[in-house]
Amino acid sequence: MITTNLTNLTPFLPDGWLTSRLSALDKARVMLEEGNGPGGSFTGWVHLPRDYDKEEFARIQAAAEKIRSDSQALVVIGIGGSYLGARAVVELLRSPNYNLIHTDGPEIHFAGNGLSTDGLMEIIDRVKDMDFSVNVISKSGTTTEPAVAFRIFKALLEEKYGKQGARERIYATTDAHRGALKGLADAEGYEEFVVPDAVGGRYSVLTAVGLRPIACAGVDIAALMQGAADAMNALAVPGADNPAWQYAAARHALYESGKKVELLVGYEPSFRFFAEWWKQLYGESEGKQGKGLFPASVEFTADLHSMGQYIQQGERLMFETVVSFARSRRQIDIPVDPDNVDGLNFLAGKSLEYVAAQAMRGVTMAHVDGGVPNIGRTVPARDEAAAGWLIYFFEYACGLSGYLLEVNPFDQPGVEAYKNNMYALLGKPGYEEKKAELERRLNG
Ligand code: PA5
């Protein structure tokens, strides 16, 4: 059972912060449920844990088994919503050091999530002499970063295995009907998986977009979906006790009280990429029309030695949402040192987990005393059920939050600006006028 602690939030908010928002939250609930609010055609994720395509789910599991038996590495090509969810879950449930410590299945490498030549070359160097497969993921099929990376890895596979052999090692996850990748996959005969029409990139981790790579890492995706389904059922119940309602109302009230930044705090290195996924989810959903909390993240205790000073005493513009795990997977005790030169014998025999728990209590109190409101969320274990629950919880609360803020939480018109400039500067046909204008400005 995931628990919420609002004790260190309520002193910062006026009475009625939740009750005054219940009616707006109920309207938001109905819009999500019925898909008739702004961006309603992209609410396919709301019932996904119940209504997902079971036939495709079985194909995902079968393809993962095949890759786990015939590949030493899997290269996952995608960016943004076609990348972050998969990496978040692989790191959370396996490890950020998965490729170093795994003893089963393929190494997993993420490519096409940027334009770094050196980053790409490192992956090529690593996999080129291994048996490897590729999962290219792009809903639009036209995003430059993954499209360029895919060209390169496709050529590498064809050189290594021939056209037919490569075909059997390429898996394409894309739109069911349209787009350049869809056309290519049809023409080449790649096995295809679908990004459903009604699910946008940042809400797609529980579709083939996330599930294919996650399954290849040996994660039990049925248990992950069950965790999400449990959250879906629990969070559909309206009322002030609903943790997603509480979270959305708290964020909105804090924003209205002048807070501008939400810090997602984790205490586990394995949570770092989950926070990256969360940042895209909230940043793209709310950051528009000159509004929205800026989503940022920190990893404690490491970042207490870098960002801690600002959080404690800098401008009072932030609040913290903390996700902590009740138990570590393994335990280690601090040993006795007969010389006690470091003076730490008072901790001898205590577990590292105990030390971390006291650190967290101390940090929370210090930050609250420093004027940083704190929303606590404790997760029983780092397992599939909890990950599925957390994913759905944050997605659902994000939809509610967007509607409270009166924005469309399911579009991202601002992402197009950089893309158009890049296409123009690269000389893409159709962008000639824009190119001339940009070159004039850039060259003074
Ligand atoms: O959330 C989004 O829509 C974006 O982050 C996209 O996922 C990202 O731009 C990649 O798009 P595509 O899957 O079309 O390549």
Q: Are residues 72 and 110 in the same domain?
A: yes
Distance (Å) from CA 112 to ligand 1 centroid: 12
Closest ligand 1 atom to Cα of 146: 15
Top mutation candidate among 139, 144, 197, 422 for ligand 1, by most atoms within 8 Å of CB: 139
Distance (Å) from CA 140 to ligand 1 centroid: 7
Q: Token pair of 218, please?
A: 């040996």
Asked if residues 4 and 243 have their Cβ atoms less than 8 Å apart, the reply is: yes
**Is residue 268 in contact with ligand 1, taking CB distance under 6 Å?**
no
Q: Is residue 430 part of a domain?
A: no
Is pLDDT of 1 > 80?
A: no
Q: Are residues 229 and 310 in the same domain?
A: yes
Asked if residues 132 and 74 have their Cβ atoms less than 8 Å apart, the reply is: yes
**Is residue 284 in contact with ligand 1, taking CB distance under 6 Å?**
yes
Q: Are residues 102 and 162 in the same domain?
A: yes
Q: Are residues 57 and 200 in the same domain?
A: yes
**Is residue 112 in contact with ligand 1, taking CB distance under 6 Å?**
no
CA distance 352 to 332: 6
Is pLDDT of 20 > 80?
A: yes
CA distance 127 to 107: 9
Each residue's pLDDT tens digit, 358-390 = 999 999 999 999 999 999 999 999 999 999 999
Q: Are residues 235 and 382 in the same domain?
A: yes
Q: Are residues 143 and 286 in the same domain?
A: no
**Is residue 139 in contact with ligand 1, taking CB distance under 6 Å?**
yes
Q: Are residues 298 and 171 in the same domain?
A: no
**pLDDT band at 419; cut points 50, 70, 90:** confident
Q: Which residue puts its alpha carbon closest to atom 12 of ligand 1?
A: 138
Distance (Å) from CA 261 to ligand 1 centroid: 24
Q: Is residue 306 part of a domain?
A: yes
**Is residue 200 in contact with ligand 1, taking CB distance under 6 Å?**
yes
**pLDDT band at 415; cut points 50, 70, 90:** confident
Q: Are residues 166 and 74 in the same domain?
A: yes
Q: Which of 102, 299, 279, 281 lies closest to 205, judged by CA?
A: 281
Each residue's pLDDT tens digit, 265-318 = 999 999 999 999 999 999 999 999 999 999 999 999 999 999 999 999 999 999
Is pLDDT of 171 > 90?
A: yes
Each residue's pLDDT tens digit, 117-145 = 999 999 999 999 999 999 999 998 889 99
Distance (Å) from CA 50 to ligand 1 centroid: 24
Q: Are residues 246 and 112 in the same domain?
A: no
Q: Is residue 313 part of a domain?
A: yes
Q: Is residue 427 part of a domain?
A: no
Residue 416 confidence (pLDDT): 83
Distance (Å) from CA 14 to ligand 1 centroid: 38
Q: Which residue puts its alpha carbon closest to atom 9 of ligand 1?
A: 80
CA distance 263 to 319: 6
**Is residue 270 in contact with ligand 1, taking CB distance under 6 Å?**
no
Distance (Å) from CA 139 to ligand 1 centroid: 7
Q: Is residue 100 part of a domain?
A: yes
**Is residue 135 in contact with ligand 1, taking CB distance under 6 Å?**
no
Q: Which of 194, 219, 244 is the last residue of a domain?
A: 219
State the pTM of this model.
0.96
Give the total number of structural domains in the chain: 2
**Average confidence score pLDDT of the chain:** 96
**Is residue 173 in contact with ligand 1, taking CB distance under 6 Å?**
no
Q: Which residue puts its alpha carbon closest to atom 2 of ligand 1?
A: 201
Top mutation candidate among 76, 138, 143 for ligand 1, by most atoms within 8 Å of CB: 143
Q: Are residues 64 and 23 in the same domain?
A: no
Q: What percent of the chain has pLDDT over 70?
A: 100
Each residue's pLDDT tens digit, 194-215 = 999 999 999 999 999 999 999 9
Q: Which of 26, 11, 36 lies closest to 244, judged by CA?
A: 26
Q: Which domain holds residue 76?
A: 48-219
Q: Amino acid letter at 422? A: M
**Is residue 207 in contact with ligand 1, taking CB distance under 6 Å?**
no
Q: Are residues 166 and 75 in the same domain?
A: yes
Is pLDDT of 19 > 80?
A: yes
Residue 44's Cβ-side half-sphere holds a number of Cα atoms within 13 Å equal to: 16
What CATH number does residue 15 fall under? 3.40.50.10490
Kindly list the catalytic residues.
284, 305, 419
Q: Which of 200, 219, 238 is the last residue of a domain?
A: 219
Q: Is residue 416 part of a domain?
A: no
Closest ligand 1 atom to Cα of 83: 7
Residue 417 confidence (pLDDT): 86
Q: Are residues 11 and 158 in the same domain?
A: no
Q: Is residue 319 part of a domain?
A: yes
Mention every residue, 6+ apart, whose C-beta is less than 8 A from residue 264: 275, 278, 279, 295, 296, 297, 298, 321, 323
Q: Which of 173, 202, 219 is the last residue of a domain?
A: 219
CA distance 95 to 200: 27
Q: Is residue 426 part of a domain?
A: no
* Average pLDDT estimate for 330-343: 96
**Is residue 8 in contact with ligand 1, taking CB distance under 6 Å?**
no
Q: Token pair of 20, please?
A: 């005054």
DSSP symbol at 257: T
Top mutation candidate among 77, 82, 286 for ligand 1, by most atoms within 8 Å of CB: 82
